[in-house]
Structure 1
Amino acid sequence: MEQNSDRHESSLAAAMSRRGFLGTLGALGGAAALAACGGTSKPGAAGGALGSGAAGTAYNGPNVTLAFWNGWTGADGDFAKKMVSEFNGQHPKIKINMNVYQWADFFQKLPAAVQSGNGPDVSVMHIDDIPTQAAQQVIVPIDSIANALKLDQSQFAKAVWDGGTYKGKRYGIPIDVHDLGMYVNQDLLDQAGVSSIPTDENSYMNALDKLKSKGIQGCWVSPFQFTGAFMFMSLLWQNGGDLYNSDTTKATWDSDAGVKSLKWLLGLISSGYSPKNVGQDADYISLKNSKNAFNWQGIWQVDDARKQKAKIVTAPLPKIGSQGGVWGNSHQFVLPRGNNDPNKQAAARFVINWFTAHEAEWAKSAKVPAETKLAQSSAFTQDLGYLKSFAQDVPNVHFPPSVAGIGDATQKLYDAFQAAILGKSSAESALHSSAKQATDILASNKKKYG
């Protein structure tokens, strides 16, 4: 997406009191303006951990160079480079060097780099990775930054805010939400005589029947985590189920709600609404090629979808169950352990401050702003209207619980889901066996991480 800082500062950033305030300060000269408006942080005040000083509201120290690691390998990485360039131009005392890795490589490199004292000064990770990295002491608590920025739960969806904590301490500062939505090939709907985008099970199935009568398999079910398993999770929540019990000691996706959700997806295949053995990303590719009408897909495909010859629009997920439920995740800023330079510590906190103050600009990389007020503002929906449907679904978004090692347990679900969709296992057997395996992993992780 084209960057337009002037429009951002005049409309999107102004949509929120704190964000608008800090965005205006950035236009007036960054750190100097913040200091002029009462920033009292002094570089070096924090020591090895995060103290009350150097909480990120200003940087007045000597020139420093910061390593910023993330896994933004797609179009959001290119947009992040633009923002880093903007920051470096505004703040000559702080130079950010951004290193981008595939997420799998990122989490292989980060712990070792931190342990050796060569880790980054600031980083970003997903909500479901924060607990494990916190338990392994790869990242440090940053409650002081949240306090300095006067952030609290009331400004965010509860799942977004809680996802940045681990054992009562805050480790992540949210900058976005990226959730599942429904991509619709409007050309195919018009061809099949579907007058409106479906919003519930009845209208969804009616649309699929009309599409099928025209020889169109309207909802391809992928056996892969991206995005078939995310479809299953969304349906699980819509049907009143959950991935885990309340204290995260047991996997519960094999509940009646889970079996019902998986069988619903299998029914799409057996009824001919989806082909069998859908390849990785083939569900989305078929949408672009006008062979698939509905694709439950992540927000990260918005920019690509807008470039297609076919008319592709987005909409909230249909409510197949009795309540809302949407898979989602959130990027959050974190501070890796091991940086003992007090000036770099202060500068890193100011970087987090700056990026979250420019959250509206970051939304142009195809993300929903983390703060509810901004995501629901008329400025956001007018300037980035193609993201509106994703923002509408944020109140229905669910995240994995804040438990160390949760990804290892959830992986068992992904494997089981694939086996069931490919016809290698029944829905009941796949869900029951994987839930038992995941429950064993939860018990093991409790001993491992405490």
Structure 2
Amino acid sequence: MERLEAHMSRRGFLGATGALGGALALAACGGKSKPGGGGDTGAGAGGTSYNGPAVTLAFWNGWTGADGDFAKKMVAQFNKANPKVQVHMNVYQWADFFQKLPAAVQSGNGPDVSVMHIDDIPTQAAQQVIVPIDSIAKTLKFQESQFAPAVWNGGVYQGKRYGIPIDVHDLGLYVNQDLLHKAGVSSIPTDENSYMDALDKLKSKGIQGCWVSPFQFTGAFMFESLLWQYGGDLLNKDNTKATWDSEAGVKALTWMVDLVKKGYSPQNVGQDADYIALKNSKNAFNWQGIWQVDDARAQKAKIVNAPLPKIGTQGGVWGNSHQFVLPKNGSSDANKAAAARYFIHWFTSNEAEWAKSAKVPAETDLQKSSAFTSGLSYLKPFAEEVPDVHFPPAVAGFGDVTQKLYDAFQSAILMKTSPEQALKTSAKQATSILAANKKKYG
């Protein structure tokens, strides 16, 4: 593993100079602070350096998997390079994280710095759990040209930036090449015609080539990708109405249901059974998240990655992003506030190293660099899709809205409800929730 240097350029990959330091013990270190603290002010607000006295920072996140182990190593290296700022990392399951964080902030015991997904930011911002951090983006000289539009606009809620992006994690096509070879499929499909042709050849060999999951992970993400590919969207422009029941939505969901009806997929696919079948050479194509890359590479079966095929008329890929945020009242100490900003600066400066945890770097230059495309070539298909990635809209309480979609999607895939009726009913319910949440969150 490559060693991290504290002041490496955001666009430079790092030379190999030995292993990173050992993992940190997890410890809760949030200092008490009086209500009303936090915000985009204070000493060293930009965070390009830290020259204050020694401080200890609490860093909370939900990285419970391999990315958490990687983050611990990066934090350990930061601590070694910056003895005046010692970061203690607490890791929680995401569900627990969002129970603990608001309560900790309200009591004045919140962490000094945190990470969350883009779709969690609006709700936490509306509830004043996190604070705007526009000055960090300005000091780091973020420019719109450095990012794909979805990445640039991500982390912004009601005109203020609350998140600093460090990665993109999106959906991609996982391909069991052993099965393609068995069926005489010479190349990975890129559009509807080649995809269906491959499925027909696989079916002629007794292989159900595209198992359709009725669950959010990752069947519903497949539907959302298809919705965008057919030219639709989840909500209207002002985020007041659910629009997934459009003609595009019906086309997308009908296409998926037909895969089941026509025998390209078994019925009643269990949670994660689509991916397990891929590994066991029973499923040839899996629309799956980047988080399975390392596991797929370790399998006996030859599994490779490719961009999602364009089934519709345009590109469309479900995606999300981890973003650094500053909790309100994380510290009433100006020195700790400045140190937290510096830690964000340091981590994002080493965004290229973070990509080794199976993430696409947030910045376009890093995605296109030869070090990334060669050194981490297995992630290249996911990076190629970034211009087509759609992030969840910046709507507070959006999880309540999408749950209606996920329930309806499952009902249609299990053929309990027609695609048109499932989408129509759920969109009407979701629109009511949007209106209620508007009053609730403002």
TM bin (shorter chain):
over 0.9
Of 212, 216, 227, the residue aligned with 1:225 is 216
Alignment partner, residue 422 of structure 1: 414
Encode CA deviations 1:261-311: one digit per residue, 9 max, x unaligned.
001000000111100000000000000000000000000000000000000
Q: Tell me what 2:324 maps to.
A: 333
In structure 2, relative to structure 1, the CA distance for the partners of 1:145 and 1:120 (3 Å cut) is same
1:121 aligns with 2:112: yes
What aligned pairs does 1:35-434 form with structure 2 within 5 A after superposition? 48-51=38-41, 53-54=43-44, 55-338=46-329, 339-434=331-426
Tell which deviates more after alignment, 403-412 or 271-280.
403-412
> Displacement, 1:136?
0.5
Equivalent in the alignment of 1:5: 3
Partner of 1:32: none
1:18 shift after superposition: 4.7
Q: Does 1:439 align with 2:431?
A: yes
User: CA separation in 1, counterparts of 2:144 and 2:57?
Assistant: 29
Q: CA deviation at 1:152?
A: 2.0
Structure 1 contact 179–390 (Cα < 8 Å) conserved: yes
**Do the aligned residues in 2 keep the contact of 1:57 with 1:148 (CA within 8 Å)?**
yes
Q: In 2, distance between residues paired with 1:424 and 1:96?
A: 51
Aligned-partner Cα distance in 1 for 2:432–2:366:
41
Secondary structure at the aligned position of 2:433 is classed as helix
Cα distance in 2 between the residues matched to 1:285 and 1:168: 42
> Would the alpha carbon gap of residues 210 and 48 (structure 1) be closer, same or farther in structure 2, given more than 3 Å must change?
closer
Per-residue CA deviation, residues 343-381 of structure 1 (Å, 9 max, x unaligned), is 110110001001000000000000000001111111110
Deviation of 1:53 (Å): 4.5
Partners of 2:103 and 2:123 lie apart in 1 by 14
Cα distance between partner residues in 2 of 1:422 and 1:18: 46
Which position in structure 2 is the counterpart of 1:39? Answer: none
The CA distance in 2 between the partners of 1:20 and 1:325, in whole Å, is 29
Distance 2:39 2:285 in 1: 49
**TM score, norm. by length of structure 2:** 0.92
Contact 2:42 2:334 in 1 (8 A): no
Change (3 A) 1:362 1:18: closer
Which 10-residue stretch deviates more, 229-238 or 100-109?
Answer: 100-109
Identity over aligned residues, as a percent? 78
Q: Note the C-alpha offset of 1:5.
A: 2.6
| Shift of residue 50, structure 1, vs aligned partner | 2.0
Contact 2:140–2:345 (CA under 8 A) maintained in structure 1: yes
Q: Provide Cα deviations, 1:381-433, integer angstroms capped at 9, x if missing partner.
A: 01100000000000000012112111211111011101111122111111011
Structure 2: state its 5+ residue gaps: 19-36
Using the alignment, how far apart are the partners of 1:18 and 1:211 within structure 2? Answer: 45
Deviations 1:123-144 (A, max 9, x none): 0000011111001000001011
The whole-number CA distance in structure 1 between the counterparts of 2:56 and 2:300 is: 44
Q: Distance in 1 between matches of 2:42 and 2:103?
A: 29
Stretch deviating more after TM superposition (418-427 or 345-354): 418-427
Task: Name the aligned partner's letter for residue 369 of structure 1.
Answer: P
Q: Tell which deviates more after alignment, 261-270 or 86-95.
A: 86-95
Assess if the C-alpha contact under 8 Å between 1:52 and 1:144 holds in 2.
no
Quick one: distance in 2 between partners of 1:91 and 1:18? 18
Tell me the TM-score normalized by structure 1: 0.91
Contact 2:43 2:334 in 1 (8 A): no
The SS at the match of 1:235 is helix
Please give the secondary structure, in 2, of the residue aligned with 1:123: strand
Match of 2:385, SS state, is helix
**1:153-187 Cα distance to aligned partner (Å, 9 max, x none):** 21111111211111111100000000000000000
Return the alpha-carbon distance in structure 1 between the equivalents of residues 85 and 241 of structure 2. Answer: 46
For residue 252 of structure 1, give the secondary structure of its aligned residue in structure 2: coil
The whole-number CA distance in structure 2 between the counterparts of 1:20 and 1:447 is 46
The aligned counterpart of 2:28 is none
Give 5+ residue unaligned stretches, structure 1: 28-46
The structure with more helix, counted as a fraction of residues: 1
Query: Hey, what's the Cα distance between the residues in 1 that align with 2:264 and 2:88?
Result: 48
**Contact (CA 8 Å) 2:67, 2:357: kept in 1 or not?**
yes
Question: Quick one: distance in 2 between partners of 1:265 and 1:244?
Answer: 21
Amino acid at match of 1:319: K
> What is the DSSP-based 3-state SS (H/G/I as helix, E as strand, rest coil) of the residue aligned with 2:286?
strand
Residues 48/207 of structure 1: CA separation in 2 closer, same or farther (3 Å cut):
closer
